Amino acid sequence: MEGTGNQNQNSQDCFKVIPKEELKIFLERLNKEYKLILPTHKNKDKSKEKTKNNELIFDYVDVLNEEYEFPEYQNIRIAPKKFLFPQSEVLFSYEIEGNNIKIAEKGAEINNQIIFGIRNCDARSFKILDTFFSSGKYSDPYYFNKRNHTLLIGIACNEPMTTCFCTSVNGGPYSVEGFDAVLYELPEKYLFQIISPNGEKFKPYVESYSNASLEDLKLKDQNASHAREQIRVSLNLDNIEMELEGLYNHEIWQKIARTCLKCGACSYICPTCHCFDVQEKIEKTDIVGKSIGKRVRIWDTCQIPLFTLEASGHNPRAAGEKRTRQRIYHKFNYYLKNYDILGCVGCGRCIQVCPVNQDIRKTLVKVQEIAKNVQEGD
């Protein structure tokens, strides 16, 4: 857990009480200094609120000028990854006129922003992306231009979903890892806690609120244990790197790949998947022969064969089982080897989205069973 700068992290003055009816005012005050990314209905037209196409998404909301009510949700279907690593992102643009090429780097007009209301799994996904994008010789400026201007205010998870398994991957519904500040929801009120040194920036915004009562803190702790009890699957992945090590050529991958459609939905929905393609887009070619183009990076997925198809026709991952295996090894073996962290936050989105009901938890259980048998067989 990251320090708050306070001696006692559980002392009452670490928790400020924001009554639910004052949350909007709190957000408005933040909105004067920061752009806000909030859980909001996709369709802002009230009359369409109940329709199917009106799910909750994370989006920019100007609470100073728009009606806004903080909604209830377990988690948002689409992770907030896209705000720091967009599905499509211009790296640079250029103008070509004859043999003259003018390159324009994308200007860094990034406003300070807050992603508000994210769960611990998504906060931890940003920690993973931070580690990855800063790794090696080349840190990713496109990601960090946005990341360095982004603060994360989370909300502890009172009602995890049946697909959640954050506690198996070092997270938890009440874990505060990765947050700059966090809210705990109680009936009628939120408790606000500053978590990271960056979160100290919120101090002036909460100073006027009263401290939590001992009763509040007790209720928070009760909620925390209730939430943990909701998570029914608990795996011990302490040895997963080694367990996978011996199963690289095991038939399990063929078996799993047999039902997999290789649609890639699991990786597009994943808050930690970060592989991308780079494409060229010519926007406009006018009569005098001047063209304007962009180099764009877009999300890509290791689940499709084109991902690794070489010009020669050779494809190291042509077979479906090699792609199924790549996804699991990347998150549960290569990530541990390269960065000493797991590449999964247990949000369960891939389980929800899979059209053939594949469940990454079951895959991991299976891996562990086989690894155990292999070991005992030796």
Q: DSSP code of 220?
A: H
Among 43, 338, 352, 363, binds other proteins (CB under 8 A): 338
Residue with smaller CB distance to other proteins, 54 or 308: 308
156 contacts 184 by C-beta, under 8 angstroms: yes
Report the residue from 278, 290, 355, 362 that binds other proteins according to the rule CB under 8 A: 278
Figure out which of the listed residues 110, 161, 257, 309 binds other proteins, where binding follows CB under 8 A. 309
Alpha helices, DSSP H, located in the chain: 23-33, 120-134, 141-147, 203-206, 214-230, 240-245, 252-259, 265-269, 320-329, 335-339, 349-353, 360-377
The H-or-E segment that residue 36 falls in is strand 35-41
Interaction between residue 87 and other proteins (CB under 8 A): no
Asked if residue 275 binds other proteins (CB under 8 A), the reply is yes
Radius of gyration of the chain (CA): 23
Give the interface segment with other proteins, choosing from 21-29, 225-233, 333-341, 352-360 (CB under 8 A): 333-341
Query: Considering the rule CB under 8 A, would residue 133 count as an interface residue with other proteins?
Result: yes
Q: What share of the chain is helix, strand, coil (3-state, %, to 5)?
A: 40, 20, 40
Q: Between 219 and 293, whose beta carbon lies closer to other proteins?
A: 293
305 counts as binding other proteins under rule CB under 8 A: no
Contact between 147 and other proteins by CB under 8 A: the answer reads: no
Q: Does 88 bind other proteins (CB under 8 A)?
A: no
Residues 203-222, interacting with other proteins (CB under 8 A): none
DSSP assignment string, 126-195: HHHHHHHHH-SS---HHHHHHHTTEEEEEE--SS--TT--GGGGT--TT--TT-SEEEEEETTEEEEEE-
Sole binder of other proteins in the list 119, 146, 274, 361 (CB under 8 A): 274
Least distance to other proteins from the beta carbon of 248, Å?
A: 5
Site for other proteins contains 101 (CB under 8 A):
yes
CA 240 to each of CA 53, 71, 75, 120, 245: distance values in angstroms, whole numbers, following the listed order: 39, 37, 27, 22, 8
Minimum CB distance to other proteins smaller for 25 or for 104:
104
The answer to whether residue 96 forms part of the interface with other proteins (CB under 8 A) is yes
- DSSP classification of residue 22: G
Written as six digits, the tokens of 127 are 């920690």
Which of these, 239, 74, 267, lies nearest to 162 by C-alpha position?
A: 74
The nearer residue to other proteins, 31 or 333, going by C-beta atoms, is 333
Determine the Cα–Cα distance for residues 313 and 317; give it in Å rounded to an integer: 12
The answer to the question of residue 329 lying near other proteins (CB under 8 A) is yes
The tokens describing 241, both together, are 């790197």
Question: Is residue 300 part of the contact set for other proteins (CB under 8 A)?
Answer: yes
The one segment of 39-47, 213-221, 270-278, 365-373 that binds other proteins by CB under 8 A: 270-278
Residue 306 or 356: the one with the smaller Cβ distance to other proteins is: 306
User: Do the bridges between strand 290-299 and strand 88-97 make them parallel or antiparallel, or are there none, so unpaired?
Assistant: antiparallel
Q: Which is nearer to other proteins, 225 or 279 (CB)?
A: 279
Give the residues lining the site for other proteins (CB under 8 A). Answer: 94, 96, 99-101, 132-133, 135-138, 140, 245, 248, 274-280, 282, 291, 293, 297, 300, 302, 307-312, 314, 316, 322, 326, 329-330, 333-334, 337-338
